[in-house]
Structure 1
Amino acid sequence: MTSPHAAPCPDCGTDLGPGPHARCPHCRLPLTGADAAALWQVVIALRALDEQRGAMLLRRDHLLAGLRARRDVPDPAPVWGAPAFVARHPVGAGGPAVGAAEVSGRSAQTVLLVLGGLLVSVAALVFTVVSWGRLGIAGRSAVLFALTAVALVLPSPLRRRRLTATAEAAAAVGLGFLVLDCYAARAAGLGGLDATDGLGYWAGATALLAAGSAAYGWAQRLRFPLAAGFLLTRLPALLALAAAGVEQVQAYAAAMVAGTVLDTVLLVGAERQADGRLGGPILRRAGAGFAVVWALSGGAVAVLGSVTASGFAGALAAWGPLGVLAGLGTGVALRLTALPREGRLAAAAGAAVAVLAAAGGTLRPLLPADWAGVAYGLPATLLVIGAGAALRRTAERAAEPVDGRAVEPVVEPVEGQAWAGVLAAAGAVLGLASLAAVPRALAAALVPLGHAPAAWAPDGGSFRDWQASWPVPGSALVGLVLIAVAAGALAVLRAVRLPAGVAEAVAVVAGLPAVLLIAPAAGLPYGVSMGWALLLAVLAAGAVALRPGLPAAWAGLGVTDALALTWASADRAATITALGLCTVLAAVVAWRAAVRGGASAATAAAVAAVGAVVSLGAEAAAVGDTVGLAQPSLGLLLLGVAVGTVPVAAVLARRAGTETRAEAGAEAGTDGSALRQVSWAVEGAGCALAAVALALTAGTPGVLSFALAAAGVGAAAVALRADRRAVAGGVATGLLLASSWIRLALWGVTTPEAYTLGLAAAALAVGHLRYRRDPALSSWAGYGPGLGLGLVPSVLALGSDGHWLRPLLLGAGALAATVVGVRLRLQAPLLLGGGALLLTAGHELAPTVVQVLGLLPRWVPLAVAGLLLLALGAGYEQRLRDARRLREGLRRLR
């Protein structure tokens, strides 16, 4: 058991120093074994807790010091204090009480003081610059100096009267007057100031104002003057550089970084003060925020100067400010114990970005113009590897193995947090640098795709004639390699907690395209590049077959297949070869993944199965187009592939059912659920191919009718499976009916029954099966659709038909439906059949009725109608009773 570095003995406190120790040299305490290891973990945990307790005590002292400094401040109106808040907003009240003040007294006071101070300052500015011209600038300056003295003296008696906020406002007005005093002094030519350079004068003036404001705020214990002095320290150096005529961007960046260093020193000093005289927590947080903003601004200026530098010397000058920022961020991340984890990560990340910006800016002038991404990506890759290794070592030291098992650390080490920030920043810079490499590599990989239309034209040429004109930028290849190396290093180091296989997959996705593009980059012929791509596809498929659960292997297979098919599209022979090979590879890996990979590789196996079916369909289309088949014939070829997936899916489903029932397959590791997903994938891909095939034959009705019939037969074969019967049976019926309709239309058949009776019969058969399985099913749901399809079109056709056959057959069918409804007490056949029978009878009696009405006098129909109305009125009550009886009888039917 190895003790912590330079750790004291847990018993006597003797410093053990580095290295393993079996016993304490002073008290002979055993330091090996499980008990000693557990004791060391407890000691480490207690040490971390002591550090946290020290930080919390320091924080308590800061807060307490701030509160002590406000002992003479008037009590603010209770807004956020817990008792006052609960009293103003009782639980369950649903909002503030009626009449409650919307603005607290403290807020109103602040608004009034701020507005008053601004108005006084504006008035003084107008007075100094514009008004009271009769006094002259000297007279106005004298008046302004007097007002400044009064404003700066007022805070002292105001604080004694415990009017601290008013004292802050008076001090703010006094500082504003001081700025105007500086302007008035130069305008009046006091001491020959009007002869000085403007920028130089204001550089000195702002320096004096910063120092004086800070000293005044310190002496008066006022926050605003102290904060103003803190902020004004940024301006003198920049103004002095501008006054001196300095044009180098790095000089301004150095000045801003120097201000950041000063900010950090002041803030660290403020954190260590216990009496609160440096302004309290609010001022410290504001100062820290401004220091961060100023550091980012200085870093941005330094990076801008590095990017725009015309030579190596200009880029090298960026190391000054950026190096200081890097050191500052590192020190803050490692030494500022009170810093939260997020702040430590941000500080370390900022330091890493500064180093990478300086390193990339130094390499950029040494490389060609299009290699700028590589200039920044190379140091980022090295830093990713270094940070990952350091993070791994830190984690190993924090969790020392005990009896061969790793122990989870109680507290994350400070250096671990810092290295995590460095790793995140380096990865982000590498990602940004790759934005230039990835599009260029993608454009190079897709070059053959632009020649596909010419190759597949009827008189197209061969892509092989265009051998060495495949441009591949070297910077793109190197950029992809850098991403692959960084991701591979993280995968090997296991320094960060990522989902399984993510880093390996990223390495493969970035590295394989670079490896594939080596052939065209070297000027090799198209055939050699194509063979290289197919070889890597075979190797990737072998990796998947050996390790079906490895995400990186699947990623490699997807990349190589996609690029191989893309490159092959520029040549007919290459396309046919690549599609055939990809079909075989996809089918093999789909089967191996489903059988060997189990549930973990089920989704990938299903995707591979879809790829196999689609590749086979594309292969059929490519071969058909090459031999000169027309579009409808190509559709039939695709339909043949789609129908061929039916038995394959059935075999896979049967195998899945066997594996599920046996709970173990003939081969170790088989999984019925994975095979079932592959079966669904094959079936779904077949359906998609069938849809494409039908679309290709849509322009030729005869071929479309045949295609629909073939698709219907395939769907009927699918319906033989119990788990597909309901859906596939309906689809098969619809396809076969559509095929028959198209054929009838081609034969010139216009009789509606030829189109509807087949569908009606199928609907009645399906409804009867449903009704037998579920006796509680309504007759409208079971038989209504079929009866409606069989009767309604024929009833509508009666009006245009003068022949006797349709009414006879329709009446017979309606009578049969009515009798069945009465016999079986079913509502739908009774009402639909009876209604159709009544309409048919009316249609047949209509000519006779019209003839009879033509023989009678005209008054007879009117008399009959009147008598009918009288009869209706006289027997209304009886008819209502009869209607109720009929309704009850129908309700008893199903």
Structure 2
Amino acid sequence: MDDMRYADPDLCPDCRSDLPHGVRSCPTCSLPVRHALAIELFSTLQHADTLVDRLRSLSNGATVPSAARTTTGLVPPGPVATAPTRPAAPAAPAAPVPPRPAAPVPPPPPAAKPAGPAAPYPTPPRSGLGVAIIPKILLGLGAFCLLAAAIGFLAVAWDDIGVGGRTAVLLTLTAAATGGSLLLNRFELRIAAESMSVVALGMLGLDVIGAHAAGWFGDSSTGWAVATGGAVMALGGTGMALPRFGDGPRLVAPQVFVGVGYLIAWGGLLAAMDHPLVSGHALVVLGAVVTWLSRTALPVRAWSVGIATAVVWSATALLGVGHAFADPTTAGLWIDGAGWSLVASAATLLAPGLVLKRRDLTVGGASVGALLVTIALVAPAVDESARIAGAVTLAVTAAWVAAYRLLPTTLRTVALAPAAIGSLALLGFDAVAGIVVLARIAEVGPDSPFGVVLREPDPATEPLLTVPSVLVPLALLALLVPQRADGRSAPWWQTGAVVGGVAAVATLASYDVALALVVAALGVVAIGSLVLGLVADGTRQTSFGLVALGIGATGIVLALPSTPIVAVASGILLGMAMIAHFVGRTTELRGVAAVTLSPALAALVWTAGLANDVDARWLGVPLLLLLGVLAIARPRLQVEVPAVLVALVAVPPAIFAADDAGGSLALHLVVLGALLSASALIHESRRELAWAAVPVFALASWVWFGDRGVTAPEPYTLPIAADLTLLGLIHLQRKPDAGTEAALLPGLLLGTVPSLLWVLDDPVSLRALFLGGACLVLTIAGAALRWSAPLMVGSVVGAIVVLREIGPYAGDVPQWVWIGLAGALLTTVGITWERRLLEIRNAVGLLGRLR
């Protein structure tokens, strides 16, 4: 029976009879055995065989205890179930079985996938919280509630139970929590033991608080009580973590609370002692020793105390830096101890690398230690003037940058931290110098002359240190940037030239010099950056070119107090933008330069005109012409869109400054329309601008007529109507099959309907005569050309004009005349209608005879 399998390729899965090799269906029962469903059934039977084998192995190796566990698990209590018995093959029938009708041969099935490993026992789908997390949550909340209950009980009954009662309650609760934690750990209830250990350590803290409230610490400050509580918590955590029952692990929560108690003790010592630096260094040494001793037996305590020690060391080092700068005298540093504290903190950093024999830790600690020693040595310069402090910082930082360059690669990290922090300090000095320069320029009043001089406020730092204070951090950055993949070094000397040039301009502006000289010097730096970009390729060209344009724009901003100087700065920016746009070889540089052209041109025109006492009302047309010529010369969106936006901002002030604002607006609209028409005629890609030029011209005429007091509609409507009609005729010439309604109707209606409204009010006038004649011409032309639009407009508008003309005389005609005219009209229409129907009948009859 052990040899029988559910998945037997030699037996039919239905009747269990023998299957010949290569057949598609069972010869006995005609079951298709090569179908896809048969292949799926065979895989399922293979999995069943695997499950049976596993159940058999469990049954063969079962013992009495395992059988007992089985009855409490998946199988109900009772006799142990045996492996299922395979069904025996049925005997051959006595009488021959009639064959079943043959089924059509199915296509060859796909190859069966190889059976994979047996699937594990099915498990119920997991939803919500896992089983293991539930006791953690419950026990954590339970521990919190126990601590809260203890605190609440003591708060309520503190004054009633006396000192002895307090002591007894606290000690009893502490001992119970401690013993319960150890007992639970003994019986392998880890989560409960961890929770009770937290309660025990919390009760230890309450014990110390109670002792302090009872006066056991005498007249000492609260800081000593806090320090004692932290020490007790650390010692208690160590004591609870040491016991280990059998091969089980030690408790984790007490080891974590060792570090917490360490930090609490340090906080108490800070409040209790007058020398926080001394207590900090002592605890750092203690923490390092505890971490080293705990690394094997109590690794969690080692990590906890190590992290706490790092926190204490960082705080102590920062306190030392603060003390060093708060009292940067020699006595304050080396007698009161701040300098020695920094040296001790630096020396402490070398211990981890030396003890663990790791070069990376040693070099990293030496780098931060070098920074602390450098602060201790440089701090006395802070007590002097800002110029001396800047000079000392520059010298020390330059020395560390040089050391980074000269030291071997494995030791360069030692110089990195002091060089980086010193570079940041130098950039801070540069920022202060830049702010002072901006303040000096802001002190210059508006509308200042070309030769205005910068005089105050006085510089806060040494101006001569500005350039080296920028170049030293740049040198460090050049050393930190890795070598390029192609082996070529980055162009740091070019970057240094541009950055140093800007710093030199800031140095120049720190002295009493003319603002024009400062702006001109900044322009020279911008031109130099552009030249460096144009001689380069790719990204470098784009970068230096954009920096040049940015520096040029900054020059305009700095020159704002003086209009003539703004004109100079605008001319420099415009020239650079034109060079970058026409000579640049990168798309990005050319695009940004194209966007810059219009604003720079507008600034140049306005400021140059105002500087030469040109009235603002005369600047709008030249500016509009120049912007239009620029857009026509460079028909690109990067030029055209900024030109339109600049025109919308810069031209209206000239219109408003004119004595006749309406006439000035009309003039500017005519110029704009001419520019649009010129662009449409010159550039085939801008033909659509002609449609925009037409309404602009019309608007210009309307503004001019309105400014002159013209109220008749024809001057406003006829120009546009003529243009629309002309465009419609051109459209009909190009597309003879197009309809006249869409091509001619808008222009004809605009040319006739407004005049018709005036004729209705004043029928006996010269306007009525001309309108009637025009309608007659339209009607005849429409009928001759067979165009519906002019025929319809001419006949309808003409009829309305005629009716309005005979209206005053209609009352003098006898009523029978109107009745007779109506009858004659109706009779004529009826006769015509009947005649047309007769003609249609005759035509239909003729077609019928033709058939």
TM-score when normalising by structure 1: 0.62
Match of 1:712 in 2: 673
Q: Contact conserved, 2:204 with 2:232, CA < 8 A, in 1?
A: no
Question: Matches of 1:833 and 1:483 in 2, distance apart?
Answer: 83
Match of 2:16 in 1: none
Match of 2:19 in 1: none
The Cα of 1:364 is off from its aligned counterpart by: 5.1
Q: Aligned pair 1:438/2:427, yes or no? A: no
Residues 506-545 of structure 1: pairs in structure 2 closer than 5 A:
507=496, 510-524=499-513, 529=518, 532-533=521-522, 535-536=524-525, 539-545=528-534
Q: Specify the code of the residue in structure 2 equivalent to 1:223.
A: V
Match of 2:446 in 1: 453
Q: 1:176 to 1:701 in 2, by over 3 A?
A: same
Match of 2:694 in 1: 733
Q: Specify the code of the residue in structure 1 equivalent to 2:627.
A: A
Match of 1:400 in 2: none
Q: For 1:233, which of 233, 257, 262 is the aligned residue? A: 262
The Cα of 1:584 is off from its aligned counterpart by: 4.1
Question: Matches of 1:332 and 1:839 in 2, distance apart?
Answer: 104
Q: Contact conserved, 1:718 with 1:724, CA < 8 A, in 2?
A: no
Q: Contact conserved, 1:639 with 1:689, CA < 8 A, in 2?
A: no
Q: 1:511 to 1:328 in 2, by over 3 A?
A: farther
Q: Contact conserved, 1:505 with 1:551, CA < 8 A, in 2?
A: no
TM-score when normalising by structure 2: 0.65
Q: For 2:607, which of 616, 622, 633 is the aligned residue? A: 622
The Cα of 1:149 is off from its aligned counterpart by: 1.7
Q: Aligned pair 1:301/2:286, yes or no? A: no
The Cα of 1:297 is off from its aligned counterpart by: 4.0
State which drifts further: 711-720 or 251-260: 251-260
Q: 1:835 to 1:178 in 2, by over 3 A?
A: farther
The Cα of 1:138 is off from its aligned counterpart by: 1.4
Q: Aligned pair 1:495/2:486, yes or no? A: no
Match of 2:188 in 1: 162
The Cα of 1:153 is off from its aligned counterpart by: 1.1
State which drifts further: 131-140 or 814-823: 814-823
The Cα of 1:213 is off from its aligned counterpart by: 1.5
Q: For 2:663, which of 682, 697, 702 is the aligned residue? A: 702
Question: Matches of 2:508 and 2:564 in 1, distance apart?
Answer: 20
Q: For 2:252, which of 200, 213, 223 is the aligned residue? A: 223
Question: Matches of 2:502 and 2:357 in 1, distance apart?
Answer: 46
Q: 1:644 to 1:170 in 2, by over 3 A?
A: closer
Q: 1:388 to 1:834 in 2, by over 3 A?
A: farther
Match of 1:368 in 2: 385
Question: Matches of 2:761 and 2:175 in 1, distance apart?
Answer: 111
Q: Specify the code of the residue in structure 2 equivalent to 1:358.
A: I
Q: Contact conserved, 1:590 with 1:606, CA < 8 A, in 2?
A: yes
Q: 1:315 to 1:821 in 2, by over 3 A?
A: farther
In structure 1, the residue corresponding to 2:687 is in which secondary structure?
A: helix
Residues 846-865 of structure 1: pairs in structure 2 closer than 5 A:
none
In structure 1, the residue corresponding to 2:698 is in which secondary structure?
A: helix
Q: Provide the identity percentage.
A: 21
Question: Matches of 1:427 and 1:525 in 2, distance apart?
Answer: 36
In structure 1, the residue corresponding to 2:677 is in which secondary structure?
A: helix
Q: Specify the code of the residue in structure 1 equivalent to 2:223.
A: L
Q: Contact conserved, 1:138 with 1:188, CA < 8 A, in 2?
A: no
Q: Specify the code of the residue in structure 1 equivalent to 2:195.
A: A
Match of 1:203 in 2: 227
Q: Specify the code of the residue in structure 1 equivalent to 2:720.
A: L
Match of 1:183 in 2: 209
Q: Aligned pair 1:463/2:451, yes or no? A: yes
In structure 1, the residue corresponding to 2:171 is in which secondary structure?
A: helix
Match of 1:146 in 2: 172
Q: Specify the code of the residue in structure 2 equivalent to 1:234.
A: L
Q: Specify the code of the residue in structure 1 equivalent to 2:654.
A: L
The Cα of 1:144 is off from its aligned counterpart by: 2.5
Question: Matches of 2:675 and 2:769 in 1, distance apart?
Answer: 38
Q: Aligned pair 1:749/2:710, yes or no? A: yes
In structure 1, the residue corresponding to 2:242 is in which secondary structure?
A: helix
Q: Deviations over 1:331-384 (max 9, x none)?
A: 879999999x9xx99988994896499369626525425887887777667656
Q: For 2:198, which of 172, 176, 187 is the aligned residue? A: 172
Question: Matches of 2:129 and 2:363 in 1, distance apart?
Answer: 37
Match of 1:358 in 2: 375
Q: Contact conserved, 1:388 with 1:496, CA < 8 A, in 2?
A: no
| Aligned-CA RMSD value | 5.4
Q: 1:256 to 1:746 in 2, by over 3 A?
A: farther
The Cα of 1:152 is off from its aligned counterpart by: 1.0
Q: Contact conserved, 1:328 with 1:351, CA < 8 A, in 2?
A: no
Question: Matches of 2:773 and 2:283 in 1, distance apart?
Answer: 101
Q: Aligned pair 1:721/2:721, yes or no? A: no
Question: Matches of 2:292 and 2:668 in 1, distance apart?
Answer: 83
Match of 2:299 in 1: 278
Q: Specify the code of the residue in structure 2 equivalent to 1:638.
A: L
In structure 1, the residue corresponding to 2:205 is in which secondary structure?
A: helix
Q: For 2:329, which of 308, 311, 315 is the aligned residue? A: 311
Q: Specify the code of the residue in structure 2 equivalent to 1:362.
A: A
Unaligned runs of at least 5 residues, structure 1:
1-81, 90-99, 395-414, 456-460, 651-678, 869-894
Q: 1:265 to 1:786 in 2, by over 3 A?
A: farther
State which drifts further: 715-724 or 604-613: 604-613
Residues 819-858 of structure 1: pairs in structure 2 closer than 5 A:
830=789, 834=792, 838=796, 841-842=799-800, 845=803
Question: Matches of 2:681 and 2:135 in 1, distance apart?
Answer: 84
State which drifts further: 170-179 or 816-825: 816-825
Q: 1:124 to 1:710 in 2, by over 3 A?
A: closer
Q: Contact conserved, 1:477 with 1:514, CA < 8 A, in 2?
A: no
Question: Matches of 1:305 and 1:818 in 2, distance apart?
Answer: 103
Unaligned runs of at least 5 residues, structure 2:
1-118, 245-249, 827-851
Question: Matches of 2:491 and 2:120 in 1, distance apart?
Answer: 51
Question: Matches of 1:823 and 1:352 in 2, distance apart?
Answer: 105
Match of 2:52 in 1: none
In structure 1, the residue corresponding to 2:681 is in which secondary structure?
A: coil
Q: Specify the code of the residue in structure 2 equivalent to 1:160.
A: R
State which drifts further: 164-173 or 229-238: 229-238
Q: Deviations over 1:256-284 (max 9, x none)?
A: 75577468647xx64xx4x8x534xxx88
Structure number with higher helix proportion: 1
Match of 1:486 in 2: 473
Question: Matches of 2:674 and 2:185 in 1, distance apart?
Answer: 98
Question: Matches of 1:534 and 1:184 in 2, distance apart?
Answer: 76
Question: Matches of 1:817 and 1:294 in 2, distance apart?
Answer: 101
Q: Aligned pair 1:88/2:75, yes or no? A: no
Q: Specify the code of the residue in structure 2 equivalent to 1:516.
A: V
Question: Matches of 1:299 and 1:856 in 2, distance apart?
Answer: 120
Residues 384-395 of structure 1: pairs in structure 2 closer than 5 A:
393=409
Question: Matches of 1:305 and 1:558 in 2, distance apart?
Answer: 46
The Cα of 1:515 is off from its aligned counterpart by: 0.7
Question: Matches of 2:400 and 2:757 in 1, distance apart?
Answer: 82
Q: Contact conserved, 1:215 with 1:226, CA < 8 A, in 2?
A: no
Match of 2:617 in 1: 632
Question: Matches of 1:419 and 1:770 in 2, distance apart?
Answer: 82
Q: Contact conserved, 1:646 with 1:714, CA < 8 A, in 2?
A: no
Question: Matches of 2:232 and 2:138 in 1, distance apart?
Answer: 30
In structure 1, the residue corresponding to 2:444 is in which secondary structure?
A: helix
Q: Deviations over 1:795-828 (max 9, x none)?
A: 66565554566567667778988999999999xx
What count of residue pairs does the alignment treat as equivalent? 686
Question: Matches of 1:619 and 1:473 in 2, distance apart?
Answer: 35
Residues 261-272 of structure 1: pairs in structure 2 closer than 5 A:
261=288, 265=292, 270=295
Q: Specify the code of the residue in structure 2 equivalent to 1:447.
A: R
